[in-house]
Structure 1
Amino acid sequence: MRLNPFGGSRRTQQADAVVTGAGSGIGQAFAIEIGRRGGRVICSDIDAERARETVELVGAAGGKAFDAVCDVSRIEQVTALADTAEQWFGKPADLVVNNAGIGRGGDLIGDAPLPEWHQVLDINLWGVIHGCHVFAPRLRAAGHGALVNVASAAAFGVAPRMAAYNVSKAGVLALSETLAAELSGTGVTVTVLCPTAVKTRILEGVSIGDQAMEEWGDRLLRWTGRPPAAIARTTLDAVDAGQLHVVPQVEAKLIWQSKRLLPGTYTRAAGLLERLVR
């Protein structure tokens, strides 16, 4: 018999977990770290081959894993994912990591094509909405568990020329805070992750459309980007502590505090900095 991972303060020990976007980056790091903590993981991704690769990595870390293909923008696929998890675990998942997302940017509002807006919001925001809509009632009914929603410092950093991405992540932050309030006292916690640069594949194959901006972004990733494994460990420790917000990097904390204390000044400075970089 497996130990109940929610019998004590270590919520992520031996958890039965579902991770979306587990084929690479932060999602893959979450799956591996959960496996390392003795958990069983459904590694979900839109790319079947990458999901299988993560399953192998989880196994190598000492965990047990199962791969599943899921397009989080499709509610019926997210529902099927939850059903698959219950069948494999023999009960609802204990831990759900809504991580799947894409990166886009480069155009001003009004120039960015509307199909790009729809694509970003369908995956980054609606994907998390679907995950919360499907899994939150099951966790509430079980009386224990945790949801992790992966947002970004872009949720409050509002960098120019990243409108669709910023809006999607701001929505994830608001959704997470609202859900945390609704689940207060139920035994289910919500944690929202808001990192800055993380060394992932999220921008793989994505053109920002401006060479200076792309070069600046590459430098930022090299200088400040943290490995996904470190972000996953920090976040899961925060889940164990019942923490709502995870702002893991120093620069993310500075943005968070600057925006709260001097919102107008911060916004004007962000616009001026973007013009200087260009």
Structure 2
Amino acid sequence: MRLNPFGGSRRTQQADAVVTGAGSGIGRAFALELARRGGRVVCSDIDADRARETAELVSGAGGKAFDTVCDVSSLEQVAALADIAEEWFGKPPDVVINNAGIGRGGELVGETSLQEWHQVLDVNLWGVIHGCHVFAPRLRAARHGSIVNVASAAAFGSAPRMAAYNVSKAGVLALSETLAAELSGTGVTVTALCPTVVRTNILDGVEFGDANLQNWADRLLRWTGRPPAAIARTTLDAVDHGQLYVVPQVEAKLIWQSKRLLPEPYTRATGLLERLVR
């Protein structure tokens, strides 16, 4: 591990890393960027073919990768993932990226089905809880490592018609902050990634239930979506600097500051804007 001017090791240089949801989007971008930094990567995804594709891309980029299937909503599968990774690396991982997630939205609270609530929370929130529950004790015992939890600007943006997704990501942010406090001084760092729109397939198959909202979502993805590779680089650089929060886009920073400085006006304005869009 190389030293940096902030003290300690460059955690993402030549790191042994585990990435969930590595089959596409930000997860795949993380795997490839870690490989470019000389690391070995366990690429896990619920889709075996996509996990394998990512591992092949990592190998093609000169890195070393192992692909495996993991449904993060299952504690047993996440625990098995940790065992597989530790066996392959010969030690606990240096970096764990809890990235797997799904996108949902379009309906009001009370209209969103409870089935959808459970589905979103099982993957987006419980998946990260499982990852932290399983990996944090191992990294704490090793007194070394980093955990990256992929949240979203939705964690604090609280846009209407996205309640299940917002709640799941707010939970991820709260968990990350709590875990960072608990791990302070142990040699293990926590980073929470909170982007806005990223050009991934997270919205594939998502029906917003309203043509105007669907059009706005498509336009946001096309006009403001940032490439996942850029998000991955920015986040891993932040991990090297020991940052807790990564709010990578200008619009995300504006939402972050507005919500903290003017919480009630922000909330009212968000509601009015949603009605205008519809």
State the TM-score, normalizing by the size of structure 2: 0.98
Identity of counterpart residues, as a percentage? 82
Q: How does 1:68-217 map to 2 (within 5 A)?
A: 68-217=68-217
| Cα deviation, residue 59, structure 1 | 1.2
Aligned length, in residue pairs: 276
Residue identity matched to 1:54: T
SS in 1 for 2:35: helix
The answer on 1:225 being equivalent to 2:225 is: yes
How many Å apart are 1:8 and its aligned residue? Answer: 4.0
Q: Which residue of 2 aligns with 1:235?
A: 235
Structure 2 CA distance for aligned equivalents of residues 267 and 221 of structure 1: 23
**AA in 2 matched with 1:59:** S
One-letter code aligned to 1:257: Q
Trace 1:253-264 onto structure 2 (pairs within 5 A): 253-264=253-264
What do the CA deviations read for 1:228-267 (whole angstroms, capped 9, x no partner)? 0000000000000000000000000000000000000000
Listed as ranges, the gaps of 5+ residues in structure 2 are: none
Q: Deviations over 1:154-181 (max 9, x none)?
A: 0000000000000000000000000000
Distance 1:255 1:8 in 2: 32
| Per-residue CA distance 1:1-40 (angstroms, 9 max, x = gap) | xx58999431100000000000000000000000110000
1:51 aligns with 2:46: no
8 Å Cα contact 2:2/2:9 also seen in 1:
no
Give the CA RMSD over aligned residues. Answer: 1.2
Structure 1: gaps (5+ residues)? none
Closer, same or farther in 2 for the Cα pair 1:4/1:70, shift >3 Å? farther
Q: Distance in 2 between matches of 1:198 and 1:157?
A: 16
Q: Is the Cα–Cα contact under 8 Å of residues 5 and 12 in structure 1 kept in the other structure?
A: no
| Kept after mapping to 1: 8 A contact 2:35/2:61 | yes
> Partner letter of residue 112 of structure 1?
T
1:268 aligns with 2:268: yes
Q: TM-score by structure 1 length?
A: 0.98
Alignment CA distance shift 1:99-1:5 (3 Å): farther
Alignment check: 8 A CA contact 2:17 2:96 kept: yes
Q: What is the deviation of 1:205?
A: 1.1
SS in 2 for 1:189: strand
